Chains A and B, each alone.
Chain A
Amino acid sequence: MFKYVFKRVMVGIVTLFLLASATFFLMKLTPGSPISSERLKTEEARKAAMEKYHLDKSIPEQYAIYIGNVLHGDLGESMTANTKGQKATDLIGKSFPVTARLGTVAFIIALIGGIGLGTAAALSKRKWVNNVCMFVATIGVSVPSFLLALLLIIVFGVWLHALPFIGLKSPVHYIMPATTLALYPIATIARLTRSSMLEVMKQDYIILARSKGTPYKKVVIKHALKNAMLPVITYAGPMFAFMLTGSFVIESVFSIPGIGQLMVSSIQNRDYSMIMAVTIFLGALVITFNILADIVSAAVDPRIKLK
């Protein structure tokens, strides 16, 4: 188990290194530069900035310097005018918790909603329940999140004045952005749960459980759900990671100062160190949650041995 986690972490570090390298060179290929903005009008100022950020050196040299800094734990500082001089780690530290809170709320909604809908669709004897659940699931995968976000804002925010839609000041503020963010995962989890539940309920061990005199509901909760959750867990780990990386679309629509916004504004400003820092951070996040998903799977299914 520890050996397995250690191995996965090592592979993860190599992956991160490759990710960082690829991002670095792609970034340099992109036209534009952080100091080409009109604020640095004088030649001296520009030169000073070029020197400060090593932009006057060749790209392989810059790469070597950057990797060296990263290995020393230095992710650099922002180069953009309004956040200039702030440490990249500080900026991430400020915006990530916002996204993480929203992502966690959305993740919980997605799990409860998806598993609930999927189970209901699989087990209900009434056909319309299945139809309604699958309709929601189809809507969930096919309606783009910005459209849903706008619809929700118009209906509940503007027309009904029922829900606030700017920022994340209070728990009520979470309702609309979290729902929007959760919709696609709800749909996917509902489909996964439904098909695996249908499969599990046909298994012989369900018949044996019923032959013991265990009531149907208890058979579902105790015997079927745990087995049916295995594919959902495999999906939920990486999904949680992606929810934590934030959605630029949703953060923009609801004016949430999260990491998705930070990422996109960094790219727009060619804020080199910020682009790199956010990429490495999000990459590490995704890798971590994949490892976590494997560990949880092994905890649920004793047949899985982490080797």
Chain B
Amino acid sequence: MSMLEIKNLSTEFTTDNGIVRAVRDVSLHLDKGEVLGIVGESGSGKSQTMFSTMGLLSANGKVVNGEIWLNGKNISPLAFKDSREYEKTMDDIRGNDMAMIFQDPMTFLNPVLRIETQLIEPILNHHPDMDKKEAIAKAIELMRKVGIPSPENRIRQYPFQFSGGMRQRIIIAIALACDPKVIIADEPTTALDVTIQAQVLDLISNLKDEIDSSIIMITHDLGVVASICDRIAIMYGGKIVESGTTDEIFYQPKHPYTKGLLSCISNPEDPERKELHPIPGSPPDLLNIAEGCPFADRCESAMKVCKMKMPDRTTFSDTHVCSCWLQHPMAEGKGE
């Protein structure tokens, strides 16, 4: 059963230079108990897809098409009469049914409020009958769960008195406060030291099992993906170009971009992977982006058709789907 299903989502940003089409016709689903990795470089639209889902887009961003089904309810802003009704519904959902773990522990905590205030806020938001004392007790329990020593004392402190890794644990505790069924983790380890990264990832996947939820893990780190994700969706230029189980993506990649990403991982033991092979070029400008495959400009096997028309989805298995002209019957033998 799908916990979360996104159908044909498109999100646009109005800027001084024109309209930026950050998310273009993205469809994905998250099953119960699953960890779905969304992989892509900066500006590929992976974070904005999730901000659209959470209703946390900045003021100039707007969902222009698509449906977002959470627990059998369409929570796309387009499904509501007006923004007031949408915000009211989302205030009930955010932090309760669906929560987000953010990227940068240094900037996502309010510098002038105590940890206590910030941690009991989601609890009180969604349990209005609970009194402050109970909420604090629950918050201390949460802090213990995420591995913060002597939480009774530290809860009275301010964010600047915590280290980066500890702050990220607080951010995780805030997200998990109401046992959400869907957790969206937006590059939760990017801003951390490598040694802390592994701890935080372990923590997230353990807690996920404990509270029986599902995770969407946004990342550009394939190492993160390999260790905890069940399925992977590869995003490029605002579109999902390939998706499949972790094994399918790692061992039978179909899209040239996926292959490119995999060859960016160095492996000192494998002579073929000793050297890094960066993908030449830079990601497309999503401002007034042209028709056709967004990766065509950087693709070594690009054909004429690639720049003219977006390829259809080709299905390889129940789980493995790829959008690339090279998979078209007429392109057989090319791009190998």
Contact = CB atoms under 8 A, between A and B. Distances in A.
Interface of A: 202-205, 207-216, 222-223, 226-227, 300-303
Nearest to B161: A302
B102 A212 contact: no
A202 B126 CA distance: 25
B54 A212 contact: no
Given A203-B107, A300-B112, A302-B160, A209 B121 contact: yes
A74 to B, nearest CB: 46
B117 to A, nearest CB: 8
Contacts of B174: 208, 212
Contacts of A214: 91, 95, 121-122, 125
Contacts of A204: 102, 104, 107-108
Give the one of B87, B121, B171, B177 with max A CB within 10 A.
B121
Interface residues of B, number: 32
13 contacts: A202-B58, A207-B56, A211-B54, A211-B99, A212-B95, A212-B99, A213-B90, A213-B93, A214-B95, A214-B122, A226-B112, A227-B111, A303-B158
Contacts of A207: 56, 102, 108
Contacts of B90: 213
Contacts of A208: 102, 108-110, 171, 174
Given A211-B99, A222-B121, A223-B110, 12 more contacts: A202-B58, A205-B109, A207-B56, A209-B121, A211-B95, A211-B102, A213-B93, A213-B126, A214-B91, A214-B122, A300-B112, A303-B111
Contacts of A300: 112
A298 to B, nearest CB: 11
B107 A301 contact: no
A215 B91 contact: yes
A304 B283 CA distance: 42
B110 A227 contact: yes
B112 A212 contact: no
Contacts, number: 78
A165 B174 CA distance: 57
A198 to B, nearest CB: 11
Interface in B121-144: 121-122, 125-126
Contacts of B198: none
Contacts of B113: 222-223, 226
A220 to B, nearest CB: 13
A226 B87 CA distance: 23
Contacts of B112: 226-227, 300-303
A196 to B, nearest CB: 13
Given A302-B158, A302-B160, A303-B160, A210 B56 contact: yes
B275 interface: no
Contacts of B96: 213
B57 to A, nearest CB: 10
A208 B107 CA distance: 10
A300 B112 CA distance: 7
A30 to B, nearest CB: 49
B83 to A, nearest CB: 9
B325 to A, nearest CB: 38
Contacts of B111: 205, 227, 301-303
Contacts of B293: none
B100 interface: yes
B94 interface: yes
B92 interface: yes
Contacts of A210: 56, 94
Nearest to A205: B110
A214 B87 CA distance: 10
Contacts of A301: 111-112
Given A207-B102, A223-B113, A213 B92 contact: yes
Given A205-B110, A223-B110, A226-B112, A211 B160 contact: no
Nearest to A229: B112
Nearest to B55: A210
The winner among A213, A226, A302, A303 for most chain B CB atoms within 10 A is A213
Contacts of B100: 211
A218 to B, nearest CB: 9
A119 to B, nearest CB: 16
